[in-house]
Structure 1
Amino acid sequence: MDVISFRTPGLGDQTYLLTHEGKGVLVDPQRDLDRFLRAAAERDVELRFVLETHLHNDYVSGAEQAALRTGAELVLPAAAAAAYRHTPAFHLEDIDGGAGLTLRPVHTPGHTPEHTSYLVLIDGEPAALFSGGSLLVASAGRPDLLGPERARSLARLQHISLRRLAGLPPGLGLYPTHGEGSFCTATGAGRLTSTIGAECADNPMLAIDDPEKFADTLLAAPMPIPAFYRYMGPANTLGVPPMPPVQVPELDHAPEGTHVVDIRPRQAQSRGMLPGSIGIELDDDFGSWTGWLLPYAEPLTLVAEPGQDVAEAVTQLAQIGVDTVQGVVRDLGADATQRYELLELDAFVERLAQPDAQLLDVRMPNEREQGRVAGAIERFLADLFTQGVPVELDPERPVLVACGSGRRASIAAGLLAREGYRPIVLTGAGVPEAAAELRARDAA
């Protein structure tokens, strides 16, 4: 038996391909299927099963299409009640795959009500556990994605589910779907895979015996929920069409009525962007931020550098069900009049020390305990798009913007520049470093 993992860093998720004697089990696949099916073909593996642990909130599933393309048996939690044909997985009712391969569904509600983990048996012996969004490495799946009304009830169920899984053999390999970087984790997840024994020894969530205290811990400081999550569950329940091929026509100008997203590096954006555009430089989490900050699935035009490959941007958007890219503009010419300034730490702190300085901190609320600057105006990046620019900011003075590294601050700067402000972005460092530098200067 072998388990191959496929990491999607921008979503903090993993897909798995388990192989055994020429048969394959694909677990929680995303919509861009070719990377998974290619790996199976390279290993001369026939896909026997496609498994879903739950109705995903953070991406559009490729499970139904993987089963249709390969003839594999699609297995979903029985309580998911998806609208398309599948085999329902019932608690502890084994599913025989032949050649000594058996799937044992384990109902593990908490992250979602229908959530099901899958214990894989080889010749009757436990060989691997795919825990989806239930037991994670050093963490647990968050229970509040379906709304605050159900969060505490689901948290109590998560407490039971984690202990159910903790009773499995200590040497059993643990393969969760959600991991570091995922907004589906309740606390900061660590390594990508683990064992049951390692989690029993080190996972802080398994150290909490009382279900109410467990719920308090899970719900104490929840991370924000990306805006596009509300569209994922219904899509995954009703079925998703195949991902369209990546074909992005070259455009001379952005069509009227489209949202313009500049994917160039922030250094290029700062020198000039198309008026009205938003800069989200292409990185692993480009799709997540675009889906979060802009109206979901409305037409998009990308702005890219000459020769910049836009296929990755289009793929990331497709993973969350956004198939609305109209084309790419590469030559901005004299139209690139929307600008902001980039400063490294020393120059930024020097500017921050000036009497007219005003600082906008766009980090998440749970990051602020890592370090704060007195007098800073704090508004999370996503809230900046929904609630608008804070009224406390003076448009007649430059606005210094910082986050943890400069990525989110540069996105905020595009919005500020669009609204007529003069942004100055801290790049290569964040608010904690700026705060420490200010303290050091005051002490000198």
Structure 2
Amino acid sequence: MEVVPFRTPGLGDQTFLLVHEGSGVLVDPQRDIERFLDVVGERDVELRLVLETHLHNDYASGAEQAALRTGAELVLPAAAAAAYPHTPAFHMEDIKAAGLTVRPIHTPGHTPEHTSYLVLLDGEAVALFSGGSLLVGSAGRADLLGVKRARTLSRLQYGSLRRLVALPHDVELYPTHGGGSFCTTAEAGESTSTVGAEVATNPMLEIGDAERFADEMLGAPLPIPAFYKHLGPANTLGIPPMPPVVVPDITWSDLGRQPEDVELVDIRPREAIATGFVLGSTGIEYADDFGSWTGWLLPYNAPIILIAEPAQDVRGAVTQLAQIGIDSVRGVLRDLTGHAAARFELVKLPEFRRRLADPAAQVLDVRMPSEWAAERLGNTVERFLPDLVTEGIPEELDPKREVLTVCASGRRSTIAATILKRAGYQPVVLDGAGVADLLP
């Protein structure tokens, strides 16, 4: 038996392909299923089962389409009540396939219907696909469905973790959510573990009382990306196949024929954005988390025009957006001649320090609240990046003076700079360094 992981770094998630004697089981596939099916084909594997651990809040599922493409049996938690054909997985009712046994274990907490899958080979428990329940060094958060349900789900998560750690300690652990995911209670490990290793090291398992466990889970929750609220319902109703990832090049005259609510998203490197961008566009330089920031900051599924360098490949950007259910990219602009009049300063650490030393300097920190709690600059205005969009620019900032803008690396500050510039402010971004580098 072999388990092949497929990592999606920008979302902090993993899909798994279990291969045994020429048959396969695919667990929690994301929407871009070709990367999974290519491996299935390369290894001459017959895909027998597609398993979903829960109705995902953070990405559009590819489970239904993978099952339709391959003829595999689609299995979802019995309580998911999805609106498309599937086999419901009931607690402890074994599913036989691929020469092995898959045993569903109801593990509510991350979501009410959440189900983990224990794999048995020749009657021996060998692998656990734990989805958003037991994670490496953490546990799946229980507040994604709202504060009214969060405490009840937290208590259920406490019981679910104890159900799982009662399994043999040598069982391999394969969680869907990992490092970088906003579906985790705290920073999770990035890959895999064993049940025994988690019993020995996972701090969430050291809490011996359900109420204290709920207190810990809900005490300092991470923000919830805005696009999450759209994906649970979408995954319940069914996700259409991936759209084409090749989009047409358009001209400025074509732009005039786009809908009034079209959003311009500049995916060029930050150096290019800083030296000239289209006022009103949002600068989100392309990286692993491009899709997440775009889905968080822009109106969900608004029509999008990408702005890219002449030779820049935009297929990755379109793929990341499709992974969170955004199929609204209408084209790409590559010639900014005469239109890239907006600019901001991008400076390195020594120059930023020099300006910070001015007693009149105004500083904007756009990191997350949990980052502020860990490390704070003095005399700083704090506003988390997405809140610049939903709550506006802090009133304390004077648009007539430069705004020294900081995060942890310059990535989020660059995005913030394009938002600030749109509102008439004069941002100066610390590039390649962050708050930690500014502290004594």
- TM-score, with normalisation over the residues of structure 1? 0.97
Aligned residue for 2:41? 41
| Mapping for residues 328-343 of structure 1, pairs under 5 Å | 328-343=332-347
2:331 aligned with 1:327:
yes
Query: Retained in 2: the 8 A contact 1:370–1:432?
Result: no
Aligned residue for 2:19? 19
Give the CA deviation at 1:419: 1.0
Structure 2 counterpart of 1:148, one-letter code? V
1: CA distance, partners of 2:198 / 2:166: 11
Aligned residue for 2:221? 222
Aligned residue for 1:150? 149
Over the residues paired in the alignment, what is the CA RMSD in angstroms? 0.8
In structure 1, the residue corresponding to 2:127 is in which secondary structure?
A: strand
Aligned residue for 1:352? 356
In the alignment, structure 2 segments of 5+ residues that lack a partner are none
2: CA distance, partners of 1:148 / 1:415: 30
| Mapping for residues 77-92 of structure 1, pairs under 5 Å | 77-92=77-92
Give the CA deviation at 1:98: 4.7
Query: Retained in 1: the 8 A contact 2:136–2:190?
Result: yes
Give the CA deviation at 1:275: 1.6
2:212 aligned with 1:213:
yes
2:293 aligned with 1:289:
yes
1: CA distance, partners of 2:98 / 2:406: 56
Query: Retained in 1: the 8 A contact 2:227–2:295?
Result: yes
In structure 2, the residue corresponding to 1:218 is in which secondary structure?
A: helix
**Cα–Cα, structure 1 residues 171 and 271, in superposed 2: closer, same or farther, change >3 Å?**
same
| Mapping for residues 139-178 of structure 1, pairs under 5 Å | 139-178=138-177
Give the CA deviation at 1:356: 2.9
Give the CA deviation at 1:12: 0.1
In structure 2, the residue corresponding to 1:333 is in which secondary structure?
A: coil
Query: Retained in 2: the 8 A contact 1:133–1:178?
Result: yes
2: CA distance, partners of 1:336 / 1:120: 56
1: CA distance, partners of 2:433 / 2:142: 32
Give the CA deviation at 1:432: 2.0
- TM-score, with normalisation over the residues of structure 2? 0.98
1:432 aligned to 433, 436, 439, which one?
436
1: CA distance, partners of 2:189 / 2:26: 23
Aligned residue for 1:397? 401
Structure 2 counterpart of 1:354, one-letter code? D
Query: Retained in 2: the 8 A contact 1:399–1:422?
Result: yes
1: CA distance, partners of 2:98 / 2:219: 45
Query: Retained in 1: the 8 A contact 2:348–2:432?
Result: yes
Q: May I ask how many residue pairs the two structures share in their alignment?
A: 435
1: CA distance, partners of 2:98 / 2:286: 44
Which shifted more, 252-261 or 296-305? Answer: 252-261
Query: Retained in 1: the 8 A contact 2:12–2:180?
Result: yes
1: CA distance, partners of 2:153 / 2:212: 14
Query: Retained in 2: the 8 A contact 1:341–1:425?
Result: yes
Give the CA deviation at 1:226: 0.3
Give the CA deviation at 1:125: 1.1
In structure 2, the residue corresponding to 1:400 is in which secondary structure?
A: strand
| Mapping for residues 173-184 of structure 1, pairs under 5 Å | 173-184=172-183
2: CA distance, partners of 1:376 / 1:65: 49
2:60 aligned with 1:60:
yes
1: CA distance, partners of 2:264 / 2:98: 52
1: CA distance, partners of 2:133 / 2:246: 37
In the alignment, structure 1 segments of 5+ residues that lack a partner are 437-444
Aligned residue for 1:6? 6
Aligned residue for 1:417? 421
1: CA distance, partners of 2:189 / 2:347: 32
Aligned residue for 1:371? 375
Give the CA deviation at 1:435: 2.5
Structure 2 counterpart of 1:233, one-letter code? G
Give the CA deviation at 1:123: 1.6
**Runs of 4+ that moved beyond 3 A:** none
2: CA distance, partners of 1:126 / 1:105: 12
In structure 1, the residue corresponding to 2:216 is in which secondary structure?
A: helix
Give the CA deviation at 1:349: 1.1
1:306 aligned to 293, 301, 310, which one?
310
Q: Deviations over 1:357-400 (max 9, x none)?
A: 10000000000133211110000001111001111100010011
2: CA distance, partners of 1:271 / 1:191: 36
Structure 2 counterpart of 1:273, one-letter code? F
2: CA distance, partners of 1:371 / 1:58: 28
1: CA distance, partners of 2:387 / 2:423: 15
Which shifted more, 368-377 or 128-137? Answer: 368-377
Which shifted more, 122-131 or 197-206? Answer: 122-131
Give the CA deviation at 1:148: 0.4
Query: Retained in 2: the 8 A contact 1:130–1:177?
Result: yes
1: CA distance, partners of 2:190 / 2:67: 29
